[in-house]
Structure 1
């Protein structure tokens, strides 16, 4: 029943799509990969070398980013080159950096969204 209500409410649908995008971008490894791909198309071992992530980790995150349409791949001989699927994604990341320059103090103080779950005190944030 909830799905039907969402389908009838374009604002709710847009909000859910946006939330799904932000959940996909919420992982530090995926952001590191996207940051690296802002330089241009790269193969997996080049991404590994520039991010210090493991090869299996990079491959898994690339699959996720590809499935979500944020990254595309191009076969280059025996290698596969990955690239950001749209220049708008690189623009979005730049805009996020610019926004952080303005609100960084508030983001750093925010206790609701921590990268390290061990830092969350007992009983929640």
Structure 2
């Protein structure tokens, strides 16, 4: 059974035209499982770097690299609070995008599992 559409079809909506390379880069930022895990964690509320490290279960320097990518790509905002950095998602469309991606992935799980052209986590091409 297909998941319900979140916001209806955007196929006919007028949106600013971007080059396909720009859109591909936009999605590549989410193609890493750790970044996606961190983004989903931050979607539930503002988080500190330390909370992100604990949640991800990897070293602070690696989490920092992933968070920097999410900030640089515009998915997450960072603000300084004393010595801490706090991360949040300012654009509600990010939550919609992640939810839609999860629904589509669930609907197409069998096909994705069989796909040999895109490596899974821990696999190399």
**Do both share a fold (TM > 0.5)?**
yes
**C-alpha separation in 2, matches of 1:78 and 1:59:** 15
State the structure with more CA Rg.
1
Q: Shift in Å at residue 117 of structure 1?
A: 3.1
Question: Is 2:114 aligned against 1:112?
Answer: no
Q: Give runs of ≥4 in structure 1 deviating > 6 Å.
A: none
Residue equivalent to 2:86 = 81
Root-mean-square deviation (CA, aligned residues, Å) is 1.7
Instruction: Indicate the SS of the match to 1:74.
Output: strand
How many residues are aligned here? 109
Listed as ranges, the gaps of 5+ residues in structure 1 are: 1-9, 121-125
> Which residue, 64, 67, 75 being the options, matches 1:62?
67
**Which string of whole-angstrom CA distances, capped at 9 and with x for unpartnered residues, describes residues 32-74 of structure 1?**
1101101111011101111212111111111111111111012
> Which residue, 84, 89, 95 being the options, matches 1:90?
95
Q: Shift in Å at residue 116 of structure 1?
A: 2.6
TM-score, normalization: structure 2?
A: 0.79
> Is the 8 Å Cα contact of residues 43 and 80 (structure 1) preserved in structure 2?
yes
Residue equivalent to 2:3 = none
Q: Shift in Å at residue 103 of structure 1?
A: 0.7
Q: Relative contact order: is structure 1 or structure 2 higher (C-alpha 8 Å, sep ≥ 6)?
A: 2
Question: Is 2:41 aligned against 1:25?
Answer: no
Relative to total residues, which structure has the larger helix share, 1 or 2? 1
Instruction: Indicate the SS of the match to 2:118.
Output: coil
**C-alpha separation in 1, matches of 2:63 and 2:86:** 13
Residue equivalent to 2:53 = 48
Listed as ranges, the gaps of 5+ residues in structure 2 are: 1-15
